[in-house]
A and B are shown apart, each in its own frame.
Chain A
Amino acid sequence: MFRIKNKFNAERDISGCGLCGIINAKKIKTNGSDIKKSISVEHDRGNGLGGGFAVYGNYPDYAELYAFHIMYDNLSAKADVEEYIKNNFIIEKEEPIPTFKTSKIYDHPYLHRYFIKPKSDRPDKLFHELGDDDFVVNSVMLINQNYDGAYVFSSGKNMGAFKGVGYPEDIADFYKLEEIEGYMWTAHNRFPTNTPGWWGGAHPFTLLDWSIVHNGEISSYGINKRYLEMYKYNLALKTDTEAITYILDLLIRRHKLPISLALTVLASPFYQKIDKMDGEKKELFTALRQIYGSALLNGPFAIVFGHSNGMVAMNDRIKLRPLVAAVMGDFTYVASEEAAIRAVCPSPDIVWSPKAGEPVIVEFEEKNIHQKGGLLGL
C-alpha cells in the first residue's frame, strides 16, 4: 500500500543526484519552464524515484501568510491535521494543489495547501510565548511526527516546494510549473540508493523559508541528528538532507549567525588552514569549530540553499561532488553540470567551478557574488 510516512528501516540515504538553481537578483520573475529544461539535461543523474522544485515569489497575494503544502495518505489523516490547523491557525484560504494528471505520475498522495497564520489566542499560548516562526516550526515537527499519513513539505512565506516520486521533468508537468512564476527556482533529480523512493523523501527539504536540494551523502548524520534533537528538532524523515535544513534554521534564524558564517560551520576550514589565519579571524574560526563541531557536515555534498533573501550553492571541503556556476546579467545559474546551464543560457557572461567549501552567495537587490571566498572579509 502507498504510504507517506517513512517506515523504512534505514538511517540515511545515499544519493548520486543532480541539482540546479536559477535566481534573478532584481526579482524579475520567470515561469518554471527554464528550471524544468535545465534539470531535464541531468535526467540520467536520477532514476525516477524523486524529483522536486522550490520556487520563491510564487504566492504574492498571500505573501504575509505561511503557505503549508501537505501530503496525505488518506482523508482521515487530512481531517485530523485540519482539526489541528483550525484550532491553532487562521486559515485565509485552502485548496488542493493544482496538478495535471500525466501518465508518468500515476500514484500520488492527496496534495493540499493552506495559507495560514498562527492565532494570537492559540491554546499553547497558555504555556509558551513562542513567536510565530517558532510555533510554525513546532507545528511542522508535530504533524510530521505524530500524525500518521500526513507530511508537511513546505511551510514558508511566498515560496513553495513541489516534489514527488518521478523524474523532475514529469514532476514539473504534474504540478504545472509552467504556470507558476517566481524569481528564484531550485530543482533536484534524485537517485536514492539506501532507502526506497517515497514522496516525502524527494528534495527539496524545506522549513519556513529555508529550502535545500542536495547531492551527496552526509556521513556525520548521526552526530548532526543528536545535536539537532537537543534543540527540539525532530528528524522524522530519516534522510541526511533534512538535517542540513534544520542546522541552517538553527544557526541562522535562532542563533542569528550571518549566512556566510553559518556556511563556514557546515564546511569548516581544516585546522591546518585555521592555524595559518591571523588574529581575530583565527580566533573566530577556532571558536566556531569548537562551539558548532556537531553541526559540521562530513562526507561528499553539493547543496543549493534557498532562503527569502537569496541563494547559496556550496560544495564539501574537498570537492567530492560537482558544482558549476554561471552569471548572465541579473541571472545566476548553478548546476551539477555545465550543460544544464547552457541548456537555458547558451552564452553566459562567466562560467566557473566554485572551489571546494567556498560558497557562491547571491542576494537579492544588490548582486553579491563571492567567487573566491566565503571566508568573510574580516
Chain B
Amino acid sequence: MITIDAAGMHYKELNRLIREGIGKGIKKFFLENINGQYYIGDGIKGDDVVININGTPGNDIGAFMDGPTLIVNNNAQDNIGNTMNAGKIIIKGDAGDVVGYGMRGGRIYILGDAGYRVGIHMKGYNEQLPVIIIGGKVGSFFAEYMAGGIIVLLGLNDSDEFDGEYFASGMHGGTIYLRKKIDFSKYSKDVELYEADENDMIFLKKYLTEYADSFNIPYEEISGKPFYKIVPSSARPYAHLYTSA
C-alpha cells in the first residue's frame, strides 16, 4: 500500500510513481489532493491493483487500462476509460463528456450523471464485453455508433429528461438497458425498444449487484422496476447510405 500526495504534482511524475509502484508489486494506491492531473492509470496492467483517487482527476483517466480498478471519490472530467480493455472504473460523483469512447472491455460504474457522447463507438468481441452503468442522466449523442457491449441507464434521480437528444443514432451492435421507459418516437430509427425479459434480468443481475455494492446502495433499490432494452435493428444501418439497395 502506498499513499501519494499529489498536491501540485504534474501528471508525468504522478504516473511515473504509479507505474514504478506497480512494478514493485504494490497493489493498493491512495492518491490524495488530486486536482486536474491527466492520464491517471493509463495503460496500466494488473487485475489486483486498486487505485483510490481523492480530488478531481483530469481528463483521460483509465485510457487503454488493462485490468486494475480506479475508484474516484469525486466528480471526474472528460474521456474516462478511452479504449479501455479490462478492469473497472468507479466514479462516485458525476462524469464528464465522452465516457468509454471505443471501450472494448471492463466496466465503468458512475453514481451520478454523465455528459455528452457516453459509450460512443463502444465495441465488443467474443468474451470481451464492456459495460457502462450510469446512475443519473446523460447528455446527447448517447451510445452513438455503438457497436458492442452493454450500457445501462438507471435514471435513479427520476429527472424528466434523462436521455438527451440523438439517442443511439448509428447504433449497430450491443445492448442498451433502461430502468425507465423513454419517449421512443423522437429517437433514431436505427434501434428497437423491447421490454427486458427474465433472461435479460438474470444476465444483468451480476453487474447491477456489483454496481450497487460499489456505492453501498441496496440492490433492490436499483432492480425494483421493469427494465427496457434497446437493440439495433441492423448490424449495418448505413449499408445503403450512398448506394441503392
Q: Which residues of A contact B (CB under 8 A)?
A: 41-42, 44, 318-319, 322, 324, 337-340, 342-343, 351, 353, 355-356
Q: Are B78 and A41 in contact (CB under 8 A)?
A: no
Answer whether A343 and B140 are a contact pair too, CB < 8 Å, given A338-B77, A353-B96: no
- Chain A: CB-nearest residue to B76: A338
A274 CB, min distance to chain B CBs, angstroms? 14
Say whether B97 faces chain A, with CB atoms less than 8 Å apart: yes
Given contacts A319-B140, A337-B36, 13 further A-B contacts (CB under 8 A): A42-B36, A44-B11, A318-B116, A319-B97, A319-B116, A322-B96, A338-B77, A339-B58, A339-B77, A353-B97, A353-B115, A353-B139, A356-B140
CB contact list, B106-128 vs A, under 8 A: 115-116
Q: Are B35 and A355 in contact (CB under 8 A)?
A: no
CB contact list, B17-39 vs A, under 8 A: 35-36, 38
Answer whether A322 and B78 are a contact pair too, CB < 8 Å, given A337-B36, A337-B59, A339-B36: yes
10 nearest A-B residue pairs (beta carbon): A339-B36, A41-B36, A339-B56, A339-B35, A319-B116, A342-B56, A338-B56, A337-B77, A353-B115, A342-B35
Q: Are A356 and B35 in contact (CB under 8 A)?
A: no
Chain A residues, Cβ within 8 Å of B97: 319, 322, 353
Say whether B141 faces chain A, with CB atoms less than 8 Å apart: yes
Main secondary structure of the interface of B (DSSP, over half): loop
Residues 62-99 of B, flagged 1 when their CB comes within 8 A of A and 0 if not, give 00000000000001011000000000000000101100
B14 CB, min distance to chain A CBs, angstroms? 13
Chain B residues, Cβ within 8 Å of A342: 35-36, 55-56
B58 CB, min distance to chain A CBs, angstroms? 6
Contact of B35 among A41, A322, A324, A353 (CB under 8 A): A41
Chain A residues, Cβ within 8 Å of B77: 322, 337-339
Chain B residues, Cβ within 8 Å of A353: 94, 96-97, 115, 139
Residues 203-228 of B, flagged 1 when their CB comes within 8 A of A and 0 if not, give 00000000000000000000000000
CB contact list, B30-51 vs A, under 8 A: 35-36, 38
Chain A residues, Cβ within 8 Å of B75: 338, 351
Max chain A Cβ within 10 angstroms of own Cβ: one of B35, B57, B75:
B35
CA distance A356 to B139 in the complex (A): 9
Answer whether A343 and B35 are a contact pair too, CB < 8 Å, given A319-B97, A322-B97, A338-B56: yes
